[in-house]
């Protein structure tokens, strides 16, 4: 299975308006790529992706995202033509204040090496 969202018409706007769960007031929600990883050509990439996904989920950044995301994070799988393998992106929808915190704490850190540099 491969999910290609590289075309302009497939992209979501950088933020959407949702209703706050507690107050019911509209808030800005940002769709943020919070983690990326690649793997080689394997027989069943979904099974092999479970390890890096679980490692990220148990990291400081992953725990914070799981706790503060508006919805459970989602991931997308892409075919990586350069390495003849697969690439994964994890996306989370973060409310305005949480998005600001994410940017200040981890910035554009999406790989394990980047996250370890910022902690």
pLDDT 10s digits, 27-72: 788 888 888 888 888 888 888 888 888 998 998 989 999 999 888 9
Instruction: Flag whether 47 is in a domain.
Output: yes
Domain count along the chain: 1
Q: Is the pLDDT at 16 greater than 70, yes or no? A: no
Instruction: Flag whether 3 is in a domain.
Output: no
Q: Is the pLDDT at 77 greater than 70, yes or no? A: yes
pTM of the model: 0.74
Instruction: Flag whether 15 is in a domain.
Output: yes
Domain range spanning residue 46? 8-117
Q: What is the mean pLDDT of residues 17-33?
A: 76
Instruction: Flag whether 1 is in a domain.
Output: no
What are phi and psi for residue 25, nearest 5 degrees?
-90, 150
Q: Is the pLDDT at 8 greater than 50, yes or no? A: no
Number of C-alpha atoms within 13 angstroms, CB side, residue 75?
A: 23
Residue 62, helix vs strand vs coil: helix
pLDDT number for residue 12:
52
Number of Cβ atoms within 10 Å of the Cβ of 50: 10
Instruction: Flag whether 30 is in a domain.
Output: yes
pLDDT number for residue 15:
60
Closest-CA residue to 68 (of 11, 36, 106): 106
Instruction: Flag whether 75 is in a domain.
Output: yes
Residue with tokens 């706050």: 20
Residue 8 DSSP label = G
């Amino acid at each position: 299975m491969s999910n290609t969202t590289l075309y302009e018409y497939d992209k979501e706007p950088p933020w959407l308006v949702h209703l706050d769960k507690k107050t019911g007031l509209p808030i800005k929600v940002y769709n943020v790529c919070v983690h990326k990883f690649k793997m080689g050509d394997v027989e069943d990439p979904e099974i092999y992706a479970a390890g890096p996904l679980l490692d990220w989920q148990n990291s400081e950044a992953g725990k914070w995202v799981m706790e503060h995301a508006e919805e459970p994070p989602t991931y997308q799988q892409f075919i990586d033509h350069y390495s003849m393998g697969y690439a994964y992106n994890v996306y989370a929808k973060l409310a305005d204040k949480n998005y600001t915190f994410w940017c200040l704490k981890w910035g554009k850190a999406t790989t394990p090496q980047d996250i370890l540099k910022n902690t």
